[in-house]
Structure formats: structure tokens, C-alpha cells
Amino acid sequence: MPHYLEDLDAGQVFTTPGRTITEADVMSFAAWTNDNNQVHTDAEFARGTRFGQRIVHGMLGASLCLGLIARTGVFEGSAVALLGIDAWRFTAPVFIGDTVTCTVEILSTRRTSSGRTGIVERLVTLRNQRGEVVQQGRMDLMVLTRDAAILEP
């Protein structure tokens, strides 16, 4: 069930289901972004790096956050637009085989001048299976108000 502006308050935290990142995910991401850096795609090369193995593309992790958040249903049907990704940090490597989950903390909400939408400031955190923060930043969102959702065709 979607959460509209009126359903969201500072301090609320939503946690997504987990997802294990596969080699196919990494290779597919490399193919469609054309980011074929060897640290992601070449196991032998990556073995000689400080990580000792291939790492997942940073933006694949950020993209997975959006998909994992969608799986919660919290913003499905109420989201109007992703407003930006700000102060995003890659704090630890993500490896093929890691299972990641995402938390969304509502920092603040405010109604826009139209009265039909609102801005939700969100802190999004991606964690691995050990609970370590691997990525974090702001992903603010415009959402519908409950009244606007009723009026939508």
C-alpha cells in the first residue's frame, strides 16, 4: 500500500528485503553501461588488486537501492519523481555474492506550493549481509498527497 505525504513522518525507517548480487548482475550492468573496468569484469586482474576479487560497480549498488525500495511498496503509487541523489558515499566494497538490504529513513517532509505533492527528504543506506554500511546518501522524492491521489484519473 503506498504511503502518501500524510503517512510519512521524520524518523520513520523502512527496511527492504535482501538481494544477493550475482555475477550475471555485474556483467549485465557492465554491458549496458559500457563500464567494463577490469576491477569489475576480470577475475584474474581483480585478484591482484587491494580487494583480492572483483567488486560490484558502485552505481549498481545505488541502482539496486531504488529497486529494493520499490519492493517495499511504500512509495509505489505515490511517488511522482526522484529529485536527486546527494552526498552519496561508497564506504566499503560490495562483492559478487554479497546480499544487500537497504534502509530508508525519513528525514523530513513538506508540502509543495501546489498542495498536491510533497517533498520527502530520505537518507538511504545500503548494507551487506554483515550489516556493514557499504553505501549511503540522500535520495529525496516528490510524492502525492492523499487528496491528489484520489483526484488522479
pLDDT at 152 over 60: no
pLDDT of residue 46: 98
Q: Is the pLDDT of residue 153 over 80?
A: no
pLDDT of residue 108: 98
Task: Compute the average pLDDT of residues 15-33.
Answer: 98
For the segment 25-39, the average pLDDT, to the nearest whole number, is 97
Residue in 86, 77, 72, 35 with CA at minimum distance from that of residue 56 = 35
| Dist. CA 48–CA 56, nearest whole Å | 16
Q: 61-70, 91-100, 115-124, 143-152 — which is least confidently predicted?
A: 143-152
CA dihedral 38, 42, 47, 52 (to 10 degrees): 70
Q: Identify whether the C-beta of residue 61 lies closer than 8 Å to the C-beta of residue 29.
A: no
pLDDT digits (tens, 9 = 90+) for 61-112: 999 999 999 999 999 999 999 999 999 999 999 999 999 999 999 999 999 9
Share of the chain above pLDDT 70, in %: 98
Confidence (pTM): 0.94
Predicted confidence at residue 145, as pLDDT, reads 96
pLDDT at position 51 over 60: yes
Mean pLDDT (the chain) is: 96
